[in-house]
Amino acid sequence: MNDRRVEIAGAAHLVLHPDVTPLHPEEATFEGMLSGWRTQQLSRNLASSTIEDRLRLLRRFATFTNEYPWHWQPRDLEDWCASLVSRARPVAASTLRGYQLAIGVFMDYVLDRRYGWHDVCLGRFGRAAIQVCHEWNTLAHTADYEGRPGNRPFTCDELQALFDHADERVDRARRLGRKGWLSAFRDATIFKTAYAWGLRRREAARLDVVDFTRNAHAPQFDRFGVVSVRWGKASKGSPPRRRNVLTVMDWAVETVSQYIDDVRPLYGNDAHPALWLTERGGRVSCDSLNERFAEYRRELQLPDELGLHCLRHSYVTHLIEDGFDPLFVQQQVGHVWGSTTALYTGVSHDFKNNALRAALDRAFTDDERSR
């Protein structure tokens, strides 16, 4: 039994020194639990960022309860969750579920006899931890998509207004001889790229020049037939999910080609792999894109509900309206489930009415033929 325990990453006897009596045993035991859990998660190849986020969350929960895990009760979780959803800016349902999941998984680790924390707690404090998460005090995952209800695609007029405004900002800066026209041109191209290939903000910001390649089945797009997305949204704890997105909008090819050939070299840092450069020679950040987008939205007096991610919603919607196969659209945007893609779609009234009219026409035609 002892030999078996030695092989388990995160076991208590591998974290706590048996010959040392800590000055503060409660704090030392809690930190030992967190250290052991970190090791156990690393052995499962979880991302370091995910692990550190979870550890910070456990410390936040401990601070809220003012107790250590072997004193935690289900009511502590319930009180904490209630405080998170009742504040001025309540956490989203998906965020709250992630918190509950992390605490529940941590408690599973602590309660697993193979790791030895049960015996440590009984020996040092005379009591063992219990699972504080159960089906009656945690959120069930009942929906495929839990994004903000306000997220919607741009209307065609709103989208055109955004792109026209971005182009006008470039032209105005160049007329006035301002250096800022480079960043304005770059950001305008990023917004168009995010829409034309259905990219998330991070996916667009992390593109490199070499991520654009040819598509033998669409030679008209030259070297911009495919974009390789290497920083796609990952499952929790997993590395980024990669996918290839095929080009479908010819105007976007001209836009990106002009940026790469005529504008990007003016930054004077051709050796950098990033597609979108800053004036300081680095890669553009997601925060700067958010700020620029919010600035244009305010200037155009567009609804606050429209965010940068809504360009991706627009991409899905417009492809569906243009008659692309839903499975193709799903693969383009990297959704695992078709139901998620469907929730991104906000087809216009005209599209739905045209589809209805076509269905009715077919039905009545078939009816007449059968008579």
Tens digits of per-residue pLDDT, 238-266? 677 899 999 999 999 999 999 999 999 99
Q: Three-class SS of residue 229?
A: strand
Under the banding of pLDDT at 50, 70 and 90, the label for residue 349 is low
For 283, list phi and psi in degrees, rounded to 5: -95, 140
Residue 208 bridge partners (DSSP): 274
Check whether residue 94 and residue 168 sit in a common domain. Answer: no
Check whether residue 108 and residue 203 sit in a common domain. Answer: no
Whether 29 maps to a domain, the answer reads yes
Check whether residue 190 and residue 250 sit in a common domain. Answer: yes
Q: Into how many domains does the chain fold? A: 2
pLDDT score recorded for residue 4: 47
pLDDT score recorded for residue 94: 80
Last residue of a domain, one of 307, 328, 354: 307
Whether 161 maps to a domain, the answer reads yes
Q: Where are the beta strands (DSSP E) in the chain?
A: 212-213, 226-232, 241-246
CATH number of the domain bearing residue 236: 1.10.443.10
Under the banding of pLDDT at 50, 70 and 90, the label for residue 118 is very high
Check whether residue 28 and residue 101 sit in a common domain. Answer: yes
pLDDT score recorded for residue 362: 65
Whether 201 maps to a domain, the answer reads yes
Amino acid code (one letter) for 298: R
Under the banding of pLDDT at 50, 70 and 90, the label for residue 22 is confident
Query: What is the mean pLDDT of the segment spanning 162-179?
Result: 92
pLDDT score recorded for residue 128: 93
Check whether residue 170 and residue 113 sit in a common domain. Answer: no
- Asked if residue 313 has pLDDT above 70, the reply is yes
- Asked if residue 217 has pLDDT above 50, the reply is yes
Whether 247 maps to a domain, the answer reads yes
Check whether residue 114 and residue 167 sit in a common domain. Answer: no
Tokens for 4? 């078996």
pLDDT digits (tens, 9 = 90+) for 193-208: 999 999 999 999 999 9
Quote the CA–CA distance of 24 and 28 in Å, as a whole number: 6
Under the banding of pLDDT at 50, 70 and 90, the label for residue 2 is very low
Under the banding of pLDDT at 50, 70 and 90, the label for residue 370 is low
**Nearest C-alpha neighbor of 333 from the set 254, 246, 224:** 246
Check whether residue 178 and residue 240 sit in a common domain. Answer: yes
- For 75-114, the DSSP string reads HHHHHHHHHHHSSSSPPPHHHHHHHHHHHHHHHHHHH-GG
Under the banding of pLDDT at 50, 70 and 90, the label for residue 334 is confident
Quote the CA–CA distance of 251 and 192 in Å, as a whole number: 10
Check whether residue 73 and residue 183 sit in a common domain. Answer: no
Check whether residue 189 and residue 279 sit in a common domain. Answer: yes
Last residue of a domain, one of 273, 307, 341: 307
Q: With 0.75 as the threshold, say if the pTM is over it.
A: no
**Per-residue CA distances from 366 to 45, 59, 123, 285, 358 (Å):** 58, 67, 80, 57, 12
Whether 286 maps to a domain, the answer reads yes
pLDDT score recorded for residue 219: 94
Tokens for 229? 């997305």
Whether 149 maps to a domain, the answer reads no
Under the banding of pLDDT at 50, 70 and 90, the label for residue 5 is very low
Where is average pLDDT lowest: 4-18, 65-79, 115-129, 133-147?
Answer: 133-147
Check whether residue 117 and residue 161 sit in a common domain. Answer: no
Write the CB contacts of 217 (distance below 8 Å, at least 6 apart in sequence): 225
Whether 178 maps to a domain, the answer reads yes
Quote the CA–CA distance of 284 and 195 in Å, as a whole number: 18
Mean pLDDT for the chain overall:
87
Last residue of a domain, one of 307, 332, 353: 307
Check whether residue 47 and residue 117 sit in a common domain. Answer: yes
- Asked if residue 150 has pLDDT above 80, the reply is no
Tokens 């809220």 sit on residue? 64
Check whether residue 207 and residue 274 sit in a common domain. Answer: yes
Query: What is the mean pLDDT of the segment spanning 64-68?
Result: 95
Name the DSSP letter for residue 274: B
Q: Three-class SS of residue 297?
A: helix
Whether 295 maps to a domain, the answer reads yes
Degrees, nearest 5: CA angle 133-137-141: 90
Domain that holds residue 222: 156-307
